Amino acid sequence: MRKPKVIRMVFALVLGCFIMVIFYFNSSLKPASEPDGERSSGQKSRRSPLQALYDGDQTESAVQAIHQGRRELLEEACRSYTRKRRVLIPEDLKHVIVDDQHGLLYCYVPKVACTNWKRVLMVLTGVAGSQTDPLAIPANEAHIPGNLRTLSEYSTTQINQRLRSYLKFVFVREPFERLVSAYRNKFTRSYNTAFHKRYGTKIVRRHRPDPQPEALERGNDVSFEEFVYYLVDPATQREEPFNEHWERVHSLCHPCLIHYDVVGKYETLEQDSRYVLQLAGVEDQVSFPASSKSTRTTGDMAAQFFHNISPFYQKKLYNLYRMDFLLFNYSIPAYLNFR
């Protein structure tokens, strides 16, 4: 008579273990949109920015179509112009800023409104404290290393989780307008003495015949032509990578290795920034700052800078930035003389 009792006890034990195993696995699994449990624990369940983008129930269908077209053009260009795909390494991700609270990955490109985007992300991530106005954050604070985390700081597993489940966005600009903007900011402003010393003196020494001692010491009067000679000189990149302010976007953000969900453009900055903030569900919390158009580098201004560049060097410079033109659907500027 004891045998059935023993069988019942064994059965109950097995059943109990089975239930515990199920409970363990259920408690261990987390939704892809909340990697590592790093979102705020008190938040209500809501759609992630990535879900908001691809659910297809947005009211701004025209804007949605524009960005879908940009994604498709970028994917097609990557297939057409890149031969080998390689694996991403942490070094590739140093420009990708992470907002774990809102599920955002932003690859910042200098001279494409990155200061204001960093300010916005400082507000969103709480780095700015109680400050809600991005423009109240000094520009130099936006660029302090460590204020915002980059994807390169995470483990491989954490990186992959975020690449899969966060909204990835980048802002780009017509390559030569961005280049002229970098030149104007770094070489024609008297306060940028660090750039004058670091790069200006080297450019003068290599690319100016019979330089004056003062120019060799200060490097504060580099012409745009000399800057172009420096960029296309093969020795420049053999020595060290380009500075981020004139490095190509495809080398900073790797758009053929990272599938960007939103490719914003400087030419439609306000509209595209508003779109990203709407996808993140934070358009009522923070606004993207309106930019000053009075000092903005335009196509006409870029044409003036290129007027004294010979067709030979125009072609060399275009070849250097060719992938940015192709990947982001920018035409060869009409003011260039090479064919």
Output the pTM of the full model: 0.85
What whole-number distance in Å separates Cα of residue 246 and Cα of residue 249?
9
The pLDDT of residue 40 is 43
| Residue pair 166/50 in contact by the 8 Å Cβ criterion | yes
Beta strand 167-172 with 104-107 is parallel
Buried b (16+ CB within 10 A) or exposed e, 228-248: bbbbbeeebeeeeeeebbbbb
Is 293 buried (19+), middle (13-18) or exposed (0-12) by CB count in 10 A?
A: exposed
Residue with tokens 């790069």: 199
Percentages of the chain per state (helix, strand, coil), in multiples of 5: 55, 5, 40
DSSP 190: T
The predicted structure's pLDDT at residue 31: 38
Q: What is the pLDDT of residue 113?
A: 96
What tens digit of pLDDT does each residue of 54-69 get? 875 555 578 999 999 9
pLDDT tens-digit series, residues 300-316: 999 999 999 999 999 99
pLDDT means per 10 residues in the chain (339 residues)?
Answer: 55 52 38 45 64 70 92 96 87 97 98 97 96 95 95 97 98 98 96 96 96 96 98 96 97 97 97 96 94 82 96 98 98 92
For the sheet containing 167-172, what is the strand order? 96-99, 104-107, 167-172, 262-265
Only one residue has tokens 């204020």, namely: 147
- pLDDT of 15: 53
Q: Say how many C-beta atoms besides its own lie within 10 A of residue 10's C-beta.
A: 10
Per-residue pLDDT, 25: 36
The span from the CA of 115 to the CA of 157, in Å, is: 29
Residue 57: what residue type? D
